[in-house]
Amino acid sequence: MPLGEVLRLDQHPVDIVATHTYPSCGVLNRGRGLFDKGVTGGSDTSYTRLFRLSEGQIVYSKLFGWEGAVALVPAEFDGYFVSSEFPTFAPDPGRVAPGFLEQFLKSNQFTEDMARSTNGLGQRRQRVNIDAFLRILVPLPPTSEQDRIAAHLTALGRTSPTLGPNLDALQEILIASAGTGVRRVPIRELMSSTRQWIDIDDGGVYRAIGVRGFGRGMIRYPEASAEELSKLRYYPLEPGALIVSNIKAWEGAVCLAETADAGRIASNRFLQYVPTSDAITTPWVEQYLLSTEGLASLSAASPGSADRNRTLSMAAFEAIEIPVPAPQVQHAVVSVAQARRRVQAQQARRDRLAAAILPAARNKIFSAMR
């Protein structure tokens, strides 16, 4: 049936008073609901009237309806205001279940129908007027079946991403515990810089690297010609070495070079250190420097007021003191850190898959009703 058979225009205009304020909202595209736009003062708007939303209404954006900017008004947005660009409708509860209608309005089928209902050519002109909106067809099985479908999709929505244990906090506790009561030694007494500068061949190709902040690892760039490299000095990576960005160390741009990184090069913007003592391992140093305490040390050693000016010198880096627990303790902490990264990667994949379940089920159901 056309939406016009189950929806009626339901607008509540309010004349603007200059001394009053009006909580306002907008509609996100692709069925993602409403968003809070803050409070609008009556003297700050050119509109002479706004429209008050009520819980349970359907509201859509004329301008962005073509990309699915439509929503069922939830309780938390009851009493918010929108402009005349956002028509509102009341569903007929005897014909359509609100939960079923909400799921339909989030489906790809509905968004495609909205896109076909526009009356313009360019994106800024692709408006969906009220008549076109109400002509869009909605499947109407018996209300008992609508309730069952809505309940089924709601239940699937609960399989969406869920919070697991705070593995980062556990890692922090482990590092702090491992460093408690042990001697602290300046890095210069444990590690040495190793950068063998190379001559860049104008006809050669090179695989450069970068380092992401916040402990997110190495950036491995594809092969590039010499002319595509920055006008800096370069050195080859040593597998197993600690790599630190001298301009982003303060935000955790620290990583290890892996075996597969042999043959890659880094610019003089990156420090490279290897152990000179059996008392220390580079994976432990990496984990410590990425801890809250380690980041504070890197930040203090990187003076400057602007992000791009916060440079870490070799002397300042080598002066940082780090705890040196027994080698078996270092290895245990690193093993836990590696396990944490594997678990977090699995959690991220699980969350991506879980987030896809509800949209896939919704689209399958409503596509079958065409």
Dihedral sign, Cα of residue 139, residue 141, residue 146, residue 150: negative
Is the confidence at residue 282, as pLDDT, over 70?
A: yes
Q: Are residues 11 and 144 in the same domain?
A: yes
The DSSP bridge partners found for residue 19 are: none
Q: Evaluate whether residue 167 is within a structural domain.
A: no
Structural domain for 314, as ranges: 183-324
Residues 223 and 317 in one domain: yes
User: Do residues 150 and 234 both lie within one domain?
Assistant: no
CATH code where residue 70 lies:
3.90.220.20
- What is the structure's pLDDT at 163? 52
Structure tokens given for 179: 């460093």
Least confident of 11-15, 73-77, 113-117, 295-299: 113-117
Residue 21 in any domain: the answer is yes
Q: Which residue has the higher pLDDT, 162 or 295?
A: 295
Segment 123-139, tens digit of pLDDT: 555 789 999 999 999 99
- Quick one: pLDDT at residue 308? 60
Residue the block writes with tokens 């429209």: 51
Strands (DSSP E) contained in 114-221 are 184-186, 191-193, 205-206, 209-211, 218-220
Q: Has residue 164 got a pLDDT over 80?
A: no
The answer to whether residues 250 and 309 belong to one domain is: yes
pLDDT tens digits for 84-127?
999 999 999 999 999 999 999 999 999 999 999 887 655 555 78
Characterize 22-47 residue by residue with b for buried, 16 or more Cβ atoms within 10 angstroms of its Cβ, and e for exposed: bebbbbbeebebbeeeeebeeeebee
Q: How far apart are CA 9 and CA 93, in angstroms?
A: 14
Which residues 6+ apart lie within 8 Å of 66 measured at CB?
Answer: 114, 115, 117, 118, 126, 127, 128
Mean pLDDT within 211-235: 94
> Residue 50 has what pLDDT?
96
What mean pLDDT value characterizes the chain?
Answer: 92
pLDDT for the residue 343: 85
pTM of the model: 0.60
Looking at the structure of the chain, the number of domains it has is 2
